[in-house]
Amino acid sequence: MVTREEIIEALKQVRYPGYSRDIVSFGLVKGVEFPGQGTVVRLEVNSAEANVPGILQERVAEAVGRLPGVGKPVDVRVKVNAASAGPDSLPEKSGIAGVRHIIAVASGKGGVGKSMVAANLAAAFQAAGRRVGLCDCDLYGPSLALMFGTSERPTMGEDELINPVTVSGVKLMSMGLLVEGHSPVALRGPMVTRYTQQFLRSVRWGELDVLVLDLPPGTGDIQLTIVQTLTLDGAVIVSTPQEVALIDARKAAGMFAKVGVRILGVVENMSYFLAPDSGKRYDIFGAGGAKLEAEKLGVPLLAEVPIEVAARESADRGHPIVWQDAGALTARAFIAAAGKIGEIFGWTN
């Protein structure tokens, strides 16, 4: 005979639809009983979403049914409390008041140029007259403040909302501020989730046309929390043409697909290098990989951004290349990408 504990263990593998957390940790499991030969699992949800109980029934019946020695049939009873959306402890997934569009810049692999892309997209939106916010969501390696040449610290208002720092009209905020004074080890798993959720709601962004989120590499706790807490308008996937980067880009794309976030397109960074002396083109990381990947995903290739010394220098000096020299090859690629995103959003000018 299977025990109650074994069933609970199995239920810990069952995720709430749309979330990565399991139904036990959300406190939805209200009882496990063994009447006669059968097994009854009782759940209670506060969900306004009509399909949630059915999905939970299927998932639970499957997970429990797989246990050897479980009494058949497995009867899953879901009680729905007419209330808010989602279980009690779930924050509602929503946008940010006053912010028209939220986009995430993501990659699977590190160091492929997410921050470069995020910073320059923000600069390009700003140059096009948009009201822009840019959030560095990397807890441990924040680089956007450097790319915008600021060491100014955000201040906290009386209402406990944090005021972003403004550089040439772009509102900047960094999640790295959260971990100051904490060792990275102290901030793992649930702590990261809690801080991230709290942080996303604690910034005074004001009225923005677009908020660009520069995500850390990979598909870990922070990325998941962000995509599950905020209603994103879309994600921009950054990759180099190299297969190792594309494999990880695919994983990142998979994460967004799973939570129903549309992919606005792929930016291929470090696409090629044009030697300034000879004009010869070098495909340092290979060629055409991101274009194929974009085709496979059925999304546009937003830009092919070359490796350019001026772009790197400009970033290191704290002035994105789009502002520094709008005619540079990299800058033109970023401006075109921002334009395509604007078109997707239906911006008319």
Ligand X SMILES: Nc1ncnc2c1ncn2[C@@H]1O[C@H](COP(=O)(O)OP(=O)(O)OP(=O)(O)O)[C@@H](O)[C@H]1O
Residues that bind ligand X (CB under 6 A): 107, 110-116, 138, 141, 143, 216-217, 269-270, 305, 307-308, 311-312, 315, 330
Radius of gyration of the chain (CA): 23
Min dist. Cβ of residue 108 to ligand X (A): 10
Say which entry of Mg ion, ligand X, none residue 39 contacts (CB below 5 to 8 A, set by partner kind).
Answer: none
- What single-letter DSSP state applies at residue 93? P
- Piece in contact with Mg ion (CB under 5 A), picked from 77-85, 90-98, 106-114, 172-180: 106-114
Min dist. Cβ of residue 37 to ligand X (A): 55
Say which entry of ligand X, Mg ion, none residue 107 contacts (CB below 5 to 8 A, set by partner kind).
Answer: ligand X
> Nearest-CA neighbor of 170 among 141, 133, 196?
133
Min dist. Cβ of residue 171 to Mg ion (A): 18
Say which entry of ligand X, Mg ion, none residue 312 contacts (CB below 5 to 8 A, set by partner kind).
Answer: ligand X
Judged by CB, which is closer to ligand X: 114, or 171?
A: 114
Dihedral of the CA atoms 170, 173, 174, 179 (nearest 10)? 160
| Dihedrals phi, psi of 241, to nearest 5 degrees | -75, -5
Min dist. Cβ of residue 218 to ligand X (A): 8
Which distant-in-sequence residues (6+ apart) come within 8 Å of 120 by Cβ? 311, 320, 321, 322, 330, 331, 334
Say which entry of Mg ion, ligand X, none residue 269 contacts (CB below 5 to 8 A, set by partner kind).
Answer: ligand X
Judged by CB, which is closer to ligand X: 56, or 237?
A: 237
DSSP labels, 22-81: BTTTTT-EEEEE--TT-EEEEEEE----TTHHHHHHHHHHHHHHTSTTPPSSEEEEEEE-
# residues near Mg ion by CB under 5 A: 2
Min dist. Cβ of residue 336 to Mg ion (A): 22
Judged by CB, which is closer to ligand X: 187, or 315?
A: 315
Min dist. Cβ of residue 177 to ligand X (A): 17
Which tokens is 95 given? 């946008």
Judged by CB, which is closer to ligand X: 225, or 271?
A: 271
Say which entry of ligand X, Mg ion, none residue 248 contacts (CB below 5 to 8 A, set by partner kind).
Answer: none
Min dist. Cβ of residue 175 to ligand X (A): 12
Judged by CB, which is closer to ligand X: 67, or 179?
A: 179
Contact at 8 Å (CB) between 47 and 56? no
170, containing H or E segment: strand 170-174
Judged by CB, which is closer to Mg ion: 174, or 271?
A: 174
Site for Mg ion in 108-167 (CB under 5 A): 114-115
| Dihedrals phi, psi of 31, to nearest 5 degrees | -175, 150
Judged by CB, which is closer to ligand X: 209, or 214?
A: 214
C-alpha span between 239 and 243 (Å, rounded): 9
C-alpha span between 87 and 10 (Å, rounded): 19
- What single-letter DSSP state applies at residue 126? H
Judged by CB, which is closer to Mg ion: 38, or 141?
A: 141
Min dist. Cβ of residue 189 to Mg ion (A): 22
Which distant-in-sequence residues (6+ apart) come within 8 Å of 237 by Cβ? 106, 107, 249, 252, 253, 263, 265, 266, 267
Q: Which residues bind Mg ion (CB under 5 A)?
A: 114-115
